[in-house]
Each structure stands twice: as C-alpha cells, then as structure tokens.
C-alpha cells in the first residue's frame, strides 16, 4: 500500500472539511484487554455540543455523548487489536492496526484522516497527525469518546469472565488493586504478557 502523506500539526485545524475522519485510540497503557480505536466523520448539519477529549469527561457524560455521535455522524466505526496482537506486534503497532481497521470500516471513505498524536497508520487517504487533537478537533474528540466507551464496555465484559481482578474498577490499568490481584491470582488470558509487570510475574513462576 502506498504510504499516505503525513504531517504533524500543533494547532487546531478546520473540523468541518468534507469527509474528514477524526481518529483516536483508547487503552494503550493498561496491562489487560484489547486496544481500541475509533474513526468518526462528523456531519456539519448535525452538530454535537460538548465534544471534548474523553479523558476530561465524566463516565456519565461519555455514555451520553456516544449514542449522539453514532446517531448524528456521517459515518463512524470502532475497531480493536487483540491482546494477542499487542503481544505479537507491540502496543504501538497494534494501536496503529486498530486505527487502520477503524478507518477502513467507515461506510463513507474519508478524503483525509486526522489522527491524534504524532504517529499514524498507513491509510488509503491523506493523513494529518494532530498533537493533542482530542482537545482541538471535534472529530477526534468524538472518536476518543467512542473508543473509550467501547473499551470500557469490553472491560466490564472481562470482569464478568474474570471477576477476581476487578477490571470493572481499574479498567485494566496498573493500579495498586490490580497489581495485588495479579500477584495473588497470576495473569489471566486477558493480560498483555509483553508488558513488563505481567512478564515479570510470569518469569517468576
């Protein structure tokens, strides 16, 4: 595949250009679960108030905005890379893979993809990376909300499968509770074995 043109931006860009997708991820840092990504093409005729970086929004607000985004966007898609793919490729490459899948899954082909951060997947369209884009570009904010809510839902599902680890409380991040449960019960199939805290526990067994 031909490498798309890429540019790193440090300022806000016009969020209403035709068929431009915002792309963001959720779940790079946790010790367990898939890494999620979302792509969103907003509809300028149906604005959504309150879009912001998902990390600054309350869980209740994210859960309220997610269905509005799905209803009003021209197109949206949520995708993920599995725990096994994270261990096989590393977290960066798995994140880029999830982003690629999200963009490819859009029902409307974007002319341009705005990707949060300073690294982007290879896409069929042009790409612009936007540092802190989840707080600068509404389409990226929308993508961050969809990725975050989808991943949180998956961690609740994992809690049902592996209730001993408290995934419903820490969402897979390396909190004191999570580390204590890891040491007590050992890693479960949802844990990322390539991540140092999990790898060290496996090596100690």
Which of the four pLDDT bands, split at 50, 70 and 90, describes residue 18?
low
Instruction: Provide φ and ψ at 38, rounded to 5°.
Output: -135, 150
Name the average pLDDT for the chain.
91
Give the tens place of pLDDT for each residue, 75-99.
999 999 999 999 999 999 999 999 9
Task: Name every residue whose Cβ is closer than 8 Å to that of residue 58 and which is 6 or more positions away in sequence.
Answer: none
For the record, the structure tokens of 175 come out as: 């909190």
Please give the DSSP secondary-structure letter assigned to residue 195.
Answer: S
pLDDT at 162 over 70: yes
Type and span of the H or E element at 143 = helix 138-161
Give the tens place of pLDDT for each residue, 97-121.
999 999 999 999 999 999 999 999 9
Which domains does the chain possess? 8-159 (3.30.420.10), 164-204 (no CATH)
User: Average pLDDT, stretch 174-202?
Assistant: 96
Q: Which of 98, 144, 141, 103 is nearest to 125 (CA)?
A: 103
pLDDT at 31: 98
Q: Give buried/exposed letters for 159-182 (b at 16+ CB in 10 A, else e).
A: beebeebbbeebbbbbeeebeebb
Please indicate, yes or no, whether the overall pTM of this predicted structure exceeds 0.75: yes
User: Average pLDDT, stretch 29-41?
Assistant: 98
């Amino acid at each position: 595949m031909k490498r798309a043109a890429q540019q790193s931006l440090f300022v806000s860009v016009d969020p209403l250009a035709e068929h431009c997708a915002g792309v963001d991820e959720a779940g790079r840092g946790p010790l367990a679960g898939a890494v999620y990504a979302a792509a969103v093409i907003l509809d300028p005729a149906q604005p959504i108030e309150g879009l912001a970086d998902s990390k600054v929004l309350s869980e209740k607000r994210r859960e309220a905005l997610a269905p509005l985004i799905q209803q009003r966007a021209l197109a949206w898609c949520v995708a993920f890379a599995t725990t096994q793919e994270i261990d096989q490729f590393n977290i960066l490459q798995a994140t880029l893979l999830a982003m690629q899948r999200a963009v490819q899954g859009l029902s409307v082909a974007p002319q341009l993809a705005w990707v949060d951060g300073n690294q982007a997947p290879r896409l069929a369209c042009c790409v612009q990376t936007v540092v802190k884009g989840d707080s600068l570009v509404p389409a990226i904010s929308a993508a961050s909300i969809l990725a975050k809510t989808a991943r949180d839902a998956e961690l609740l599902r994992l809690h049902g499968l592996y209730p001993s680890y408290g995934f419903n409380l820490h969402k897979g991040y390396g909190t004191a509770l999570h580390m204590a449960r890891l040491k007590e019960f050992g890693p479960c199939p949802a844990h990322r074995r390539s991540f140092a805290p999990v790898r060290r526990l496996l090596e100690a067994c």
